[in-house]
Amino acid sequence: MGEQPMKLYLDSADIPAVAPLLHTGLFEGVTTNPLILQRAGVAPAHLPTLVQELIDAGAGSVFVQAVESDTDEIVAEGRRIVALGSNVIVKVPATRQGFAATARLAHDGVPVLVTAVYHVRQAILANSAGAWGIAPYVGRMDDAGRDGLRQVEQMGAVLHGSETRVLAASIRNADVVHELALQHCDAVTMSTAVAEALFIDHLTDRAVAEFTEAARALT
């Protein structure tokens, strides 16, 4: 994992929820997957419109996942996805076929984020395939009895010095975000609810209220 500040992404296809956060200028882009699209009611035919709406809202990059399972079909779908715009990055699941497709797409200059990563060995395969990055599922690893933060730390160690980034996903709360930052994780994607929670601190709110009260007393 690199020495640059950790980049923040939003894991959502809900334009009304995403747009205000993108407008802050603090979030690099938006990640999606089929479940997120389903929850937002985005049909495949409307995907180009969604990508453009997210870019117009301020997303520097938009991640769209391939859903095919055969290597040749994943490659073909990946090429269709990346054709949606210069800001689009293809997501491919960490399967045998997915890694093979990633290698072919990467060879052609297509940026690929290998997703649904649960183990360090998958990070090694993604790096060998020339992936743009990996998306380890922190919360889901914890659910499965694996230490998600520890796994991400080890993934960062094996990828150190490579061009394959770690973009941590499945983030359950804001505290996990700062734990990942302490590990110098390259990037993290989160729901809009977790993103909103990053802005909340009751001690800050109390101090601001005191400042406001003092300013009014001076007038």
Ranges assigned E (strand) in 81-194: 88-93, 112-117, 133-136, 165-168, 187-190
Q: Is 91 a catalytic residue?
A: yes
Residue 47 near residue 14, CB atoms below 8 Å:
no
Residue 126 near residue 105, CB atoms below 8 Å:
no
Give strand pairing partners of 8.
Answer: 188
The two most distant CA atoms of the chain are separated, in Å, by 71
Tokens standing for residue 36: 């997120």
Cβ neighbours around 199 below 10 Å, total: 11
The label of the residue with tokens 């500040």 reads 5
For 63, which DSSP code?
E
Residue 76 near residue 102, CB atoms below 8 Å:
no
Question: Which of 91, 101, 129, 156 is the catalytic position?
Answer: 91
Amino acid at 108: D
Residue 25: HSE in the Cβ half-sphere, 13 Å Cα cutoff = 0
Give catalytic residue positions: 91
